[in-house]
């Protein structure tokens, strides 16, 4: 499998169809490994989440599905598909935006750390295991056992800072 774009590259104009096909390939592999069914709907929802590097809300996904199919998609179906994608690590949920972003490396188990641009709303996933370790360590100092952690950092991305 070809490498995904680095977060820096993903910010620049690029051939996004590559990102999408890599994401779908990785998803096929993860589901095959886990013995999970990558149904047409799950695949379609993942494709929609991957339409850009900006987190997408469940409502936007519903709207697009309904428009494409010419009939109203059932919300529970879409929520279940998103739950599945999240469980398989194929998408991350950005709580501060109540939205979902595709994961570029679902084959590796990891916690999510994101730089979220307040201007263009791009979310850049960091591969920063030292952050995970630091949070776990700080929590342990309080006798706290971390179950999951998603770090969301807001600010301005390089592109937007340049344009400002």
Residues of this chain that interact with Zn ion (CB under 5 A) are 16, 19, 103, 117, 119-120, 157, 160
Q: What Cα–Cα distance (Å) separates residue 91 from each residue in 44, 45, 57, 75, 144?
A: 13, 10, 12, 18, 26
Rounded least distance, CB 79 to Zn ion, Å:
20
| Comparison of 43 and 110: residue with beta carbon closer to Zn ion | 110
DSSP H/E element including 101: strand 99-102
- Which residue, 78 or 117, has its beta carbon nearer to Zn ion? 117
Evaluate whether 46 touches 85 at the Cβ level (below 8 Å): yes
Find how far residue 19's CA is from the centre of its chain.
12
Integer angstrom CA distances of residue 50 from 45, 72, 134: 9, 21, 30
Least CB distance to Zn ion at residue 50 (A) = 8
Query: Quick one: 74 or 146, whose CB is closer to Zn ion?
Result: 146
| CB of residue 161 to Zn ion, shortest distance in Å | 8
User: CB 125 → Zn ion: shortest distance, Å?
Assistant: 5
For Zn ion, give the closer residue by CB, 14 or 72.
14
Count of all residues that appear for the chain in the document: 164
């Amino acid at each position: 499998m070809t490498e995904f774009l680095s977060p820096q590259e993903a910010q620049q104009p690029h051939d996004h169809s590559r990102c999408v096909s890599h994401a779908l390939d990785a998803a096929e592999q993860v589901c095959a490994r886990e013995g999970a069914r990558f149904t047409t709907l799950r695949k379609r929802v993942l494709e929609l989440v991957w339409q850009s590097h900006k987190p997408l809300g469940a409502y936007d996904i519903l709207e697009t599905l309904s428009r494409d199919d010419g009939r109203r998609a059932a919300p529970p179906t879409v929520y279940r598909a998103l739950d599945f994608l999240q469980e398989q690590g194929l998408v991350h949920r950005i709580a501060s935006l109540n939205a979902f972003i595709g994961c570029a490396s679902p084959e590796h188990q990891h916690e999510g750390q994101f730089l979220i641009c307040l201007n263009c709303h791009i979310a850049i996933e960091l591969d920063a295991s030292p952050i995970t370790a630091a949070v776990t360590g700080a929590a342990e100092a309080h006798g706290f056992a971390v179950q999951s952690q998603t770090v969301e950092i807001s600010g301005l991305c390089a592109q937007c800072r340049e344009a400002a």
